Chain A
Amino acid sequence: MLEVKNLRCSYGANQVLKDINFRVDKGEVIAIVGSSGSGKTTLLRSISFLHKADGGTIRFFDFEKDITRLKGSEIRRLRMRLGYVFQNFNLFRNMTVRQNVMEGLVTARHMDRAEAEKITDAVLEKVDMLERADYYPDQLSGGQQQRAAIARSIAFRPDVLLLDEPTSSLDPELTREVLNILTQLAADGITMVVVTHEMGFARNVANRVIFMEGGVVVEDAPAAEFFNHPKQEATKRFLRTVTDDCG
């Protein structure tokens, strides 16, 4: 469904992604893991065009093009079908939770208001935020904000939901809240790419795990295989450090 080939990306002279290849199929949940600075965020940002890539091709269903040659209208059309959940939520501060969710439906997609309201209620129910629908972001806990942000990006039924460390700015209790929601979404068959440090989540919920280091994909394997029989030395080292951390 979504595929990138030979993706390269840099910040000035610092080359951050070096020849990345990966694909996502419908219904898959992919966990991207790797140490800090390995380029995970940059990868999500460049396939969402928030950061301009230096080279590579992107394929989305049967649309395929050099990622550096996309027109503004093509970028907008692709973004319409991607959901993005930010590490720090980025809810619109001047809007209530309900307005945040409605915005993508009514303003961006010109949906009929009554219909948008119905969908909004349904997704807020799903993330257990209906009671707080009329609160502003500043009045919510981090976990509540992140659940609202998830509702905002699933409301328009994106083909793929990209999540960049959705729980890393939350404390353990709130992390659990959000992971439960993501587990539910996975069960509903929503296609997800999740950058995460939560190995338990990667092991139990993801179909596939991608391990990145130094701007390259080191290992890309089904979750069980990734954790039980990693092929690369670097992966084994990484898994040792993360399991040591978690005790």
Chain B
Amino acid sequence: MSERLWEILASSLPNLLLYCVKVTIPLTACIYALSLVLAFLLALVQVLNIRVLSGAARIYVWIFRGTPLIVQMYIIFFGLPSVGITLNAFPSAVIAFSLNYAAYMSETIRASIQAVPVGQTEAGYMIGLNYFQIMTRIVLPQAAKIAFPTLFGSLIGLTKDSSLAASITVVEMFKAAQQIAARTFEPLALYCEAALIYLMLNTALTLLQRYLEKRLSWKQPLTE
């Protein structure tokens, strides 16, 4: 490899890391937090079978899972201004991603709640608990454990997918790499460098997942 290439890589690395920390990670965190809350509400109204809301939630999931994320982003960022709603690129991306991810994640959460055996609920009733207590103390903790790997998978997917925000002009890590590549005419090196940073980020997340899964397990360390 030429000396020039090394120099480009070395000088772009802090730049890319900066965009990773300043944009990619906050973008991912905002989206994930918002979609988790929304997904939980969507799942809950369906599980509780609240009349109008549960139907609305199902239609919501149908639409947002049935259309491409990038189209949703274009509608919000490029489309809505023509009806007088103009948002900056970053909030547009946050909204589009959150709406989309919430649809998927609500299905994960709903299925996990329904995967808790009905016998757990019945046993709760028979020791005198009410529905709210059964949900908060028995069903939801068990559902959380079931949902955890899949929901964490969504987080890992999201860190990568966040690069799609580049398409509506959000300058996150991938967009930054693109700009440097255009300036230096070294696309291969720059995109590989960006890929490597995503890989590192997700490696860290995977390790975190393993650690948390261990902490979540209902097993006593056996000391006998």
Query: Which residues between 110 and 126 of chain B lie within 8 Å of chain A, taking CB atoms?
Result: 117, 119-120, 122-126
Query: Which residues between 131 and 145 of chain B lie within 8 Å of chain A, taking CB atoms?
Result: 133, 137-138, 141-142, 145
In the bound complex, CA of A156 to CA of B117 (Å): 24
A48's contact among B119, B124, B126, B133, by CB below 8 Å, is which?
B126
CB distance from A110 to the nearest CB of B (A): 10
Closest to A81 in B: B128
Chain A residues with CB under 8 A of B122: 50, 84, 86, 90
Query: Which residues between 217 and 238 of chain A lie within 8 Å of chain B, taking CB atoms?
Result: none
Closest to B128 in A: A108
Contact assessment for B127 and A76 in the assembled complex, using a CB-CB cutoff below 8 Å: no
Contact assessment for B220 and A96 in the assembled complex, using a CB-CB cutoff below 8 Å: yes
- B130 proximal to A (CB < 8 A): yes
- B207 proximal to A (CB < 8 A): no
Chain A residues with CB under 8 A of B145: 94
Q: At the interface with chain B, which of A131-139, A188-196, A204-212?
A: A131-139
Contact assessment for A76 and B128 in the assembled complex, using a CB-CB cutoff below 8 Å: yes
- B211 proximal to A (CB < 8 A): no
Closest to A162 in B: B126
Contact with B along A88-101 (1 / 0, CB 8 A): 10111111100000
Contact assessment for A139 and B219 in the assembled complex, using a CB-CB cutoff below 8 Å: yes
Chain A residues with CB under 8 A of B141: 94
- Among B124, B137, B218, the most chain A Cβ lie within 10 Å of the Cβ of B218
Contact assessment for B218 and A138 in the assembled complex, using a CB-CB cutoff below 8 Å: yes
A134's contact among B120, B123, B128, B220, by CB below 8 Å, is which?
B220
Given contacts A88-B119, A91-B123, contact A109 B128 (CB under 8 A): yes
A90's contact among B120, B130, B133, B220, by CB below 8 Å, is which?
B120
Query: Which residues between 98 and 125 of chain A lie within 8 Å of chain B, taking CB atoms?
Result: 103-104, 107-109
B127's contact among A88, A103, A134, A139, by CB below 8 Å, is which?
A103
In the bound complex, CA of A107 to CA of B123 (Å): 14
- B222 proximal to A (CB < 8 A): yes
Contact assessment for B133 and A84 in the assembled complex, using a CB-CB cutoff below 8 Å: no
In the bound complex, CA of A86 to CA of B222 (Å): 27
Contact assessment for B126 and A83 in the assembled complex, using a CB-CB cutoff below 8 Å: yes
CB distance from A178 to the nearest CB of B (A): 17
Contact assessment for B133 and A108 in the assembled complex, using a CB-CB cutoff below 8 Å: yes
Contact assessment for B222 and A139 in the assembled complex, using a CB-CB cutoff below 8 Å: yes
Contact assessment for A50 and B125 in the assembled complex, using a CB-CB cutoff below 8 Å: yes
- A181 proximal to B (CB < 8 A): no
- B80 proximal to A (CB < 8 A): no
- Can you list the 9 inter-chain pairs with the closest CB atoms, starting with the nearest? A104-B127, A108-B128, A90-B123, A84-B126, A90-B119, A136-B218, A94-B141, A80-B128, A108-B129
What would be 20 A-B contacts, judged by CB atoms less than 8 Å apart?
Answer: A79-B126, A79-B128, A82-B126, A86-B119, A90-B117, A90-B123, A92-B120, A92-B123, A92-B124, A93-B120, A103-B127, A103-B137, A104-B127, A107-B133, A138-B218, A138-B219, A139-B220, A139-B222, A156-B127, A156-B128
Q: Give B residues with C-beta under 8 Å from A.
A: 117, 119-120, 122-130, 133, 137-138, 141-142, 145, 218-220, 222
